[in-house]
C-alpha cells in the first residue's frame, strides 16, 4: 500500500533519476563517456541555475531579466577568492552565496516595489552594469583578459580532475539546492510567495508584507545563482566577462518557461531537455550558425507563450498533485 504512494511521490521519481544519473559514468559509452559527462554536468549546472531563477518568476510572479549578473558575481567571487587567497570550495560556496544574497538585497530593496515591466528592465540594466564593471575594472577582474588559472576544488587534499568527479560534485550541489528549494516551497515562505504570485492585493490583505517577501525571494534566487557561478569558475578554471552576457539570462529563462514556471519538476525537466539539445545542435550545425542557437531559444520562448504558456509541467497541475498527495498521506 505504501509502495503505491511512493511510486507517485515526485521525490521518489527524482531519487531514482538521480540514482540512474549516478550510474551514468560507469556506462560503457567508450571514449565519449567524458563528453557525455561534461554535457550532463552542464545540464545539472543549468538545473541549479534554473531552480534559482524559478524562485522569482515562478514563485512570486516577477520577471527577473538580470539573473546572469548574479551568476557572474558568483563566478568572479569564486575565481578571485581562489586566485588571491586560495580558499577551498567549501568556504567559497557559502561566501559566494552570501555575496549573491547581498547584491540581491541591494538591487531588490529599492526596485521590487515597481510594476513587473519596470522591474524586468531594471534587472536587465543591473546585469548589463555588472558586465560593464567586470569588463572595465581591470584592477579587480583583469577585464577582457579574463581570469585564468583558477584552481580546481579539492576534497581532503585531492584536487578534482576527472569529469566524473566534477559530475558527482555538481550532483551534490543539486541535492543541496533541491533540498533548499523544496523546503522553502512547502513552508510559510513558499505559500506567501505563491500568494504574491496569484494575487498581490489579496496577499497583502492577508498580512503578507510584499516588499519583505519579494526581497527575500530575490536574495535567495541571487545566492543560488551565485553558487552556480562559483562552481562554474572552479570547474571551467577560466572566466571572462563575455561569458556572462544578457543572453545567458534568456537561456535560463527559456529553461523555466519551457519546463513550467513555478514547478520544480518542470524546471529541472526543462534544463534536462534543452541543454543536451543545444549540444546536439552544436554537433549538427556548422560552427558559424552554432552561435545563433539563441535563435532557437528565442523562438522557444515565443512559441511556448503562444501555445503552452504554463510550460511542460503546469504550476496548476503541480499544485493539484501536491494537494492530492497530501490528502492521501493524511488518509494513510
Partner 1 sequence: MENLLDQSSLFLQQLVNGITLGGVYALIAVGYTMVYGVIQLINFAHGEIYMLGAFLAYTMVTVLGIPFFAAFILTILVCACFGIILDFVAYRPLRNAPRLAALITAIGMSIFLQNLAMMIWGSQIKSYPRDMFPAIFLKPALSIGEVSMTWIQVFILSITVVCMIILHLIIHKTKIGTAMRAISQDKTTSALMGIGVNRVISFTFAIGSAMGGMAGVLVGLYYNAIFPTMGYIAGIKAFAAAVLGGIGSVPGAMLGGGVLGIAEVMGAGYISSEYRDGISYAVMIAVILFKPSGLIGRQIGEKV
Partner 2 sequence: MNTILKIIKLSKSFGGLSALREITLEAKQGQIVGIIGPNGAGKTTLFNCLTSLYYSTGGQIEFQERPIVPEVAETKRRLIKSCAMLFFVLGLIWVPLFWSSIVPHTFFKVEVVLLGIFILSIRFFLVRGLMRFQIWAWGLIFVFLISDLWFSIWWLTHLLSLGPMIGTGIPLYYFTVPWGIIAGPFSIYLISQLVLRKVRQLYGFRLGPDAICRLGVARTFQNIRLFFNLSVLDNVKIGFHVQMRSGVLGILLKTRSQRDEEGLTEKEAFKCLRFVGLDGRAFDLAGALAYGEQRRLEIARALASNPQLLLLDEPAAGMNAQESSELIRLILKIREKGITVLIIEHDMKVMMNLADNIYVLDYGVLIADGTADEIRTNPRVIEAYLGGGTAHAAT
**Does the protein bind partner 1 through residue 144 (CB under 8 A)?**
no
Question: Which of partner 1, partner 2, none binds 265 (CB below 5-8 Å, type-dependent)?
Answer: none
Using CA of residue 296, residue 302, residue 308, residue 309, what is the dihedral sign? positive
What is the Cα–Cα distance from 230 to 237, expressed in whole angstroms? 10
Question: Which of partner 2, partner 1, none binds 183 (CB below 5-8 Å, type-dependent)?
Answer: partner 2
Question: Which of partner 2, partner 1, none binds 184 (CB below 5-8 Å, type-dependent)?
Answer: partner 2
Residue with cell 577582457: 144
Using CA of residue 319, residue 325, residue 328, residue 329, what is the dihedral sign? negative
Contact 70, 222 (CB under 8 A): yes
> Shortest Cβ distance from residue 281 to partner 2 (Å)?
34
Residues 260 to 299: which contact partner 1 by CB under 8 A? 288-289, 291-295, 297-299
Which residues of the shown chain bind partner 2 in the complex (CB under 8 A)? 110, 113, 136, 180, 183-184, 187-189, 191-192, 194-195, 198-199, 201-212, 216, 220, 315-316, 319-320, 322-324, 326-327
Out of 196, 239, 250, 271, the residue judged to bind partner 1 by CB under 8 A? 250
**Does the protein bind partner 1 through residue 309 (CB under 8 A)?**
yes
Using CA of residue 82, residue 84, residue 86, residue 90, what is the dihedral sign? negative
> Shortest Cβ distance from residue 78 to partner 2 (Å)?
22
Binding mask 53-82 for partner 1 (x = CB under 8 A): ----x---x-x-x-----------------
What are the angstrom distances between the C-alpha of 142 and each of 74, 83, 86, 241, 250? 16, 12, 18, 10, 26
Interior/surface letters 78-101, b for 16+ CB within 10 angstroms, e for the rest: bbbbbbeeeeebeebbebbbebbb
Question: Which of partner 1, partner 2, none binds 242 (CB below 5-8 Å, type-dependent)?
Answer: none
Contact residues for partner 1, defined by CB under 8 A: 57, 61, 63, 65, 110-111, 114, 116-118, 120-122, 124-126, 128-129, 132, 135-136, 201, 246-247, 250, 253-254, 257, 288-289, 291-295, 297-302, 305-306, 309
Amino acid at each position: 500500500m505504501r509502495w503505491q504512494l511512493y511510486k507517485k511521490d515526485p521525490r521518489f521519481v527524482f531519487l531514482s533519476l538521480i540514482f540512474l544519473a549516478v550510474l551514468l559514468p560507469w556506462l560503457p559509452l567508450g571514449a565519449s563517456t567524458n563528453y557525455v559527462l561534461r554535457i550532463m554536468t552542464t545540464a545539472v549546472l543549468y538545473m541549479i541555475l534554473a531552480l534559482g531563477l524559478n524562485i522569482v518568476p515562478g514563485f512570486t510572479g516577477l520577471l527577473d531579466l538580470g539573473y546572469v549578473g548574479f551568476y557572474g558575481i558568483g563566478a568572479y567571487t569564486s575565481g578571485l577568492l581562489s586566485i588571491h587567497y586560495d580558499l577551498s570550495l567549501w568556504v567559497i560556496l557559502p561566501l559566494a552565496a552570501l555575496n549573491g544574497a547581498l547584491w540581491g538585497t541591494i538591487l531588490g530593496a529599492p526596485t521590487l516595489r515597481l510594476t513587473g515591466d519596470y522591474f524586468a528592465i531594471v534587472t536587465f540594466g543591473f546585469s548589463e552594469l555588472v558586465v560593464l564593471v567586470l569588463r572595465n575594472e581591470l584592477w579587480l577582474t583583469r577585464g577582457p583578459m579574463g581570469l585564468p588559472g583558477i584552481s580546481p576544488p579539492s576534497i581532503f587534499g585531492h584536487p578534482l580532475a576527472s569529469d566524473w568527479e566534477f559530475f558527482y560534485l555538481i550532483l551534490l550541489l543539486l541535492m543541496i539546492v533541491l533540498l533548499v528549494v523544496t523546503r522553502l516551497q512547502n513552508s510559510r515562505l513558499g505559500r506567501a510567495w505563491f500568494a504574491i504570485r496569484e494575487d498581490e492585493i489579496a496577499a497583502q490583505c492577508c498580512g503578507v508584507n510584499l516588499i519583505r517577501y519579494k526581497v527575500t525571494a530575490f536574495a535567495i534566487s541571487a545566492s543560488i545563482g551565485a553558487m552556480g557561478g562559483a562552481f562554474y569558475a572552479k570547474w571551467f578554471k577560466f572566466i571572462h566577462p563575455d561569458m556572462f552576457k544578457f543572453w545567458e539570462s534568456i537561456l535560463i529563462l527559456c529553461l523555466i518557461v519551457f519546463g513550467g514556471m513555478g514547478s520544480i519538476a518542470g524546471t529541472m525537466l526543462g534544463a534536462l531537455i534543452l541543454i543536451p539539445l543545444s549540444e546536439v545542435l552544436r554537433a549538427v550545425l556548422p560552427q558559424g550558425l552554432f552561435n545563433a542557437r539563441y535563435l532557437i531559444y528565442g523562438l522557444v520562448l515565443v512559441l511556448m507563450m503562444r501555445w503552452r504558456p504554463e510550460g511542460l509541467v503546469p504550476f496548476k497541475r503541480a499544485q493539484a498533485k501536491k494537494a492530492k498527495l497530501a490528502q492521501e498521506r493524511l488518509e494513510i
